[in-house]
Amino acid sequence: MTLLNISKMGHPVLRQIAAPVSDPTSAEIRELVENMVETMTEAGGTGIAAPQVFESKRIFVFFVSEDRAKVEAERLGISIEGEAAVPLTVLVNPEIDFIGNQIDESWEGCLSIPGLMGKVPRQRSIRYRGLGLDGKLIEREATGFHARVVQHEYDHLNGVLYPERMTDIKSLIFSSEVGYQKADE
């Protein structure tokens, strides 16, 4: 496996609409995904999309730790039982549908925008589907942090970075300063 360079905000690859993948089972795609996972892990991320490693392909990988899912569920006041860990997931050519119209605003960071975080409104609940590396369909419903991560990574496939989703640019701050923000902001 190889650590890949991460594209930073301002690079054109992050503004493109990524191309669909014709064969998610190919050796080329498997190698790319392995390298993406290694790169994400090394960088301390919870998700990474192919455009973030200079590949304009409709692929992203992510996971949600149980601790992070529960913290976000408590913050949102939703059932903790429904918020479990999500194992490492690879989605090729994903699609998202929104469930309901509840919007939650929370802090997001991005490997392509190092050192900064911003408050981003996202749909609370979504349904998503995509292909795994075996070519089989993956379909899930997600709420809370799980839904937020999927929407964030999906945006990368459409050339959108989280600051474009923010409603108040004043909440774009250095990651080190998040602790100074009120918990209910």
CATH number at residue 98: 3.90.45.10
Residue 84 lies in a domain: yes
At 184, is the pLDDT very low, low, confident or very high (cuts 50, 70, 90)? very low
| Separation between Cα atoms, residue 122 and residue 144, nearest integer Å | 9
Q: What is the pLDDT of residue 182?
A: 60
Mean pLDDT, rounded, for 60-84? 77
The answer to whether the beta carbons of residues 82 and 66 sit under 8 Å apart is: no
Helix axes of 144-157 and 66-76: crossing angle, nearest 10 degrees? 110
| Separation between Cα atoms, residue 162 and residue 117, nearest integer Å | 9
Residue 4 lies in a domain: no
Residue 22 has pLDDT above 60, yes or no: yes
Residue 24 lies in a domain: yes
Whose tokens are 């392995």? That residue is 34
Which has the higher per-residue pLDDT, 178 or 158? 158
Residue 3 lies in a domain: no
Mean pLDDT, rounded, for 156-165? 98
Candidates 167, 123, 165; CA nearest to 146 is: 123
Q: Is 146 helix (H, G, I), strand (E, B) or coil?
A: helix
Q: What is the pLDDT of residue 80?
A: 59
> Mean pLDDT, the chain, as a whole number?
93
**How many domains is the chain partitioned into structurally?**
1
Residue 1 lies in a domain: no
Ramachandran category for residue 17: left, alpha or beta (phi over 0 → left; psi -120 to 50 → alpha): beta
Residue 109 lies in a domain: yes
At 1, is the pLDDT very low, low, confident or very high (cuts 50, 70, 90)? confident
Structure tokens belonging to residue 85: 């860990």
Whose tokens are 């998202």? That residue is 96
Q: What is the pLDDT of residue 146?
A: 93
Reply yes or no on whether 153 is catalytic: yes
The answer to whether the beta carbons of residues 24 and 138 sit under 8 Å apart is: no
Residue 49 lies in a domain: yes
Residue 82 has pLDDT above 60, yes or no: no
Which has the higher per-residue pLDDT, 185 or 39? 39
Which residues, in sequence order, are CB contacts of 122 under 8 Å at separation 6+?
A: 103, 104, 105, 106, 147, 148, 151, 152, 165
Q: Is 57 helix (H, G, I), strand (E, B) or coil?
A: strand
The whole-model pTM stands at 0.92
Residue 67: give the domain boundaries: 12-180
Q: Which of 105, 108, 153, 164 is catalytic?
A: 153
Residue 116 lies in a domain: yes
